[in-house]
Amino acid sequence: MESTYFTPRLVLQRVVPADATDIFEAYAHDPRVAKYMRWKPHQSVADSEAFVKMLEKEKKRKGGHQAWAIRLRETSQLIGLVGLDVFPPKVHLGYVLGHPWWGNGYVSEAVKTMIDAAFQLPAVFRVEGICEASHEASGRVMTKGGMSYEGLLRSHTVLPNISEAPSDMRMYAIVRDDWETLKKGDMKVSTNPSPARST
Ligand SMILES: CC(C)(COP(=O)(O)OP(=O)(O)OC[C@H]1O[C@@H](n2cnc3c(N)ncnc32)[C@H](O)[C@@H]1OP(=O)(O)O)[C@@H](O)C(=O)NCCC(=O)NCCS
Ligand 1 atom closest to 131 (CA): 48
Average pLDDT over residues 61-75: 89
Average pLDDT over residues 165-193: 84
Please tell me the distance between residue 62's alpha carbon and the centre of ligand 1 in angstroms: 31
Residue 198 lies in a domain: no
Q: Provide the mean pLDDT of the chain.
A: 93
Residue 86 lies in a domain: yes
pLDDT of residue 63: 60
Q: For residue range 161-175, what is the model confidence (pLDDT) as tens digits?
A: 999 999 999 999 999
Testing ligand 1's pocket by substitution, the residue of 23, 108, 111 carrying the most ligand atoms inside 8 A of its CB is 108
What angle is formed at CA 14 by the lines to CA 176 and CA 111, rounded to 5 degrees? 40
pLDDT of residue 199: 32
Please name every residue paired with 169 in a beta bridge, in sequence order, or none if there are none.
132, 153
Contact between 166 and 158 (Cβ < 8 Å): yes
Please tell me the distance between residue 130's alpha carbon and the centre of ligand 1 in angstroms: 14
> In the chain, pLDDT over 70 holds for what percent of residues?
92
Local structure of residue 13 (DSSP, 8 states): E
Residue 199 lies in a domain: no
Q: For residue range 108-159, what is the model confidence (pLDDT) as tens digits?
A: 999 999 999 999 999 999 999 999 999 999 999 999 999 999 999 999 999 9
pLDDT score of 192 more than 70: no
Residue 105 lies in a domain: yes
SS3 103: coil
pLDDT score of 71 more than 70: yes
pLDDT score of 191 more than 90: no
pLDDT of residue 64: 80
Residue 196 lies in a domain: no
pLDDT of residue 187: 56
Residue 21 lies in a domain: yes
pTM of the model: 0.93
Around ligand 1, the residues with Cβ closer than 6 Å are: 33, 36-37, 95-97, 102-108, 131, 135-138, 140-141, 193
Contact between 59 and 26 (Cβ < 8 Å): no
Look at the chain and report how many structural domains it folds into.
1
Give the domain CATH number at 128.
3.40.630.30
What is the residue range of 77's domain?
Answer: 4-190
Ligand 1 atom closest to 104 (CA): 11
pLDDT score of 196 more than 60: no
Please tell me the distance between residue 91's alpha carbon and the centre of ligand 1 in angstroms: 21
pLDDT score of 62 more than 70: no
Residue 91 lies in a domain: yes
Ligand 1 atom closest to 98 (CA): 39
pLDDT of residue 185: 85
Testing ligand 1's pocket by substitution, the residue of 107, 158, 197 carrying the most ligand atoms inside 8 A of its CB is 107
Q: Residues with Cβ < 8 Å from 160, sequence gap 6 or more?
A: 38, 39, 40
Residue 161 lies in a domain: yes
